[in-house]
Amino acid sequence: MFISSWSGLVFLFMAGSGFNAFIFEHKHLLSVLLGLEFMMLSIFGLLSVAITGVGLEAYFVMFFLVLAACEGALGLSLLVSIVRSHGGDYFSSFGVLSC
């Protein structure tokens, strides 16, 4: 299928790298958000390769891209709000009772 192609394997490797950054690099909120966005972009590429290989319409891929852009904007606004309230994006500076 499409996973046997080189582009499918590259996008799966990208998704794995983004998941690795999302799980293990959790010192700053920005690095977690970048890992999440990297995973979303690799899934977008994987979907576009799969839909192009089958020959279906690409409306679902565009809808996914719009949702990924909204997720990025929401994450950035959350980051700005946390930096303004806590002074930084370190996870160690967040208190459980202070939020």
CATH number belonging to the domain at 2-93, selected among 2.40.37.20, 2.60.40.10, 3.40.50.300, 1.10.287.3510: 1.10.287.3510
> What residue segments make up the domains of the chain, in order of their start?
2-93
Tell me the mean pLDDT in the region 33-54: 82
pLDDT band of 77, cuts 50, 70, 90: very high
11: exposed, middle or buried (Cβ count in 10 Å: 0-12, 13-18, 19+): buried
pLDDT over 90, % of the chain: 2
pLDDT over 70, % of the chain: 82
pLDDT tens-digit profile of 26-41? 788 888 888 888 888 8
Q: How far is CA 58 from the centre of its chain?
A: 20
pLDDT tens-digit profile of 13-23? 888 888 888 78
